[in-house]
Amino acid sequence: MAYVIAEPCVDVKDKACVDECPVDCIYEGPRTLYIDPNECVDCGACEPVCPVEAIFYEEDLPDDWLWYKDAADQYFQEIGDPGGAMDYGTLDHDEPRVAALSKRAQA
């Protein structure tokens, strides 16, 4: 896995990254977006368009957010590799640690 979506996306989900992804590997959960580590081709197109700076190359994740890599890995181990987010639609749940986060106030 090359890129990871971390906490700034939770309860925001701008989705500019979804439009930029050439392989359609960014999936939407109820509270956040997830990059499928098996479908991502490490192109980096998603990172610069994220307005909340939630996307990190895995080696650049801040220490407090390292668990988001594991959360994405676990999430896609559970649901498999759907093969394209647009055709799959919104996922029905979030990874448990993401689901347990306090709700963010909307600006």
Confidence class of residue 2 from pLDDT cuts 50, 70 and 90?
Answer: confident
Q: Give me the pLDDT at residue 104, please.
A: 78
Q: Give me the pLDDT at residue 1, please.
A: 55
Which residue shows structure tokens 């029905």?
92
Mean pLDDT of the chain, nearest integer: 94
- pLDDT by residue (tens digit) across 60-101? 999 999 999 999 999 999 999 999 999 888 999 999 999 999
- pLDDT by residue (tens digit) across 39-54? 999 999 999 999 999 9
The pTM assigned to this predicted structure is 0.94
- Residues 47-51: contacts with CB under 8 Å, at least 24 apart: 47/3, 47/17, 49/16, 49/17, 49/19, 49/20, 50/8, 50/9, 50/14, 50/16, 50/17, 51/14, 51/16
Q: Give me the pLDDT at residue 59, please.
A: 94
| 107 pLDDT above the threshold of 80 | no
Q: Give me the pLDDT at residue 51, please.
A: 97
Q: Domain 3-87 falls in which CATH fold?
A: Alpha-Beta Plaits (3.30.70)
